[in-house]
A and B are shown apart, each in its own frame.
Chain A
Amino acid sequence: MISYKNKDRINIFLLLLPWILTFLVFWAYPVVYSFILSLSEYKTLSNETVFIGLDNYIAMFNDEVFLKALSNTLLFVFVTVPITTSLATILAVMVDRTNGKLKEFFKAAYFLPSVTSLVVIALIFKNLYSKEGYINTLLQMVGMSGQSEGWLQSLDTALPAIMAMDIWIATGYYMIIVLAGLQTIPKDLYEAADISGATAWQQLKSITLPMLKPTLLFILVVNTIKSFQVFIEIYVMTKGGPLNETTTLVYQVYQNAFEMADKMGYASAVAYVLFFIILVISLMQMKLLKEKY
Chain B
Amino acid sequence: MKDRAGLREIERRVWLRTFEHGLWDLSIGLLLLSFGVGILTEFYWIPAIVVPVGLPSMRDLARRAIVPRIGHATFRGRRKRSMIHVQLILAALALVGAGMFAFTAFATRDTAPGWATWVRSHFIIVIGLIWGGALAIAGWAADYPRLYAYGGLLFGALLAIDLAPAGDHLGHALIGVGGLIAVVGVVLFIRFLRRYPPYPAPVEVGDDG
Bind each other:
no
Q: Which residues of B approach A to under 8 Å, CB–CB?
A: none
